[in-house]
Amino acid sequence: MSNDKQLSACEFRELEEDELIHVDCLEHVYPDGTSSLHNVCFSLFKGEIVVICGANGAGKSTLVEHLNGLVKPKVGRLVVLGQEVTQKTGVITEVGLVFQDSDSQVFAPTVLDDVMFGPLNKGFTADAARLAAICALERIGAAHLTNRIPYYLSRGEKRLVAIAGVLAMNPEVIVADEPTSDLDPFHSRQIESVLFELKTDFRISIVIATHDMDLAARIADRIYVIAEGQVIATGTPRDIFYNKSVLARANLNEPTAVRLYKRLCQGGSASDFKPVKEHDLVKLLEGVIGKAEP
């Protein structure tokens, strides 16, 4: 599709204040001719967690790989931290990308060497890179892994090291592709907690791509729903998770709290407050039970 035709289908928007990532009319076609993204618009603002929800093959990974310039847009406009991304733009190191497959990202002889790799390639001295790596590992509670050999780490530990590797480069944005996939419950909670604390304690903006609706319900400020390469809805978790048609079109399940609440409503226990997180549902039930007591 030519740029002229693209503009006629989707006009470019003006950048808003505090908008760190601005995507307009993005399209992507794989080398074999398969189209993966169509007319995608996306925004990330300072100090928020945005979750991109979609089923496998919906286009989530392709979209997030554009957000730091790893993949360049051929059609559409991408502005990252005020910089227009073109075919000549290098990878934007201020946006750290945590891949779904940690084995492709964690490869050095020791964890310390691995976390130092990014800062060294960014031009840090050896001492500065070592300090940045140690600080990053300490920030996420992984200092005990410093001298371990990555090959012998668990999946969860490798995911922590991958996060530390991008954190050591002092990013403004961290993009995580399916950060809790294939992890046991302990490490899933640990990764979720780390990402949330990076936002709340260090003011790093976060983008997460996932099909885990419970994770999205707990952590998202805003949600984009993507299906067949297109953004079909965006809004707050409550906007999205109580929209049955959107979830059905994207082949996504409701979060646990929403599903249980709807079952309660069938029994006549409806409330004006619609819970999205499990602890919200618990509070609602406590109120209902309290009123029912003699």
pLDDT at 62 over 50: yes
Read off the pLDDT band of 294 (50, 70, 90).
very low
Q: Which amino acid is at 258?
A: V
The predicted model scores a pTM of: 0.91
Length of the chain: 294
Q: Is the pLDDT of residue 37 over 80?
A: yes
Residue 186 burial (CB < 10 Å; 0-12/13-18/19+)? exposed
Whether residue 159 is predicted with pLDDT greater than 60 in this model: the reply is: yes
Give the domain ranges of the chain: 255-294
Share of the chain above pLDDT 90, in %: 76
The rounded distance, in Å, linking the Cα atoms of 175 and 68 is 8
Q: Would the pLDDT of 8 be above 70?
A: no
Quick check: 266 pLDDT over 90?
no
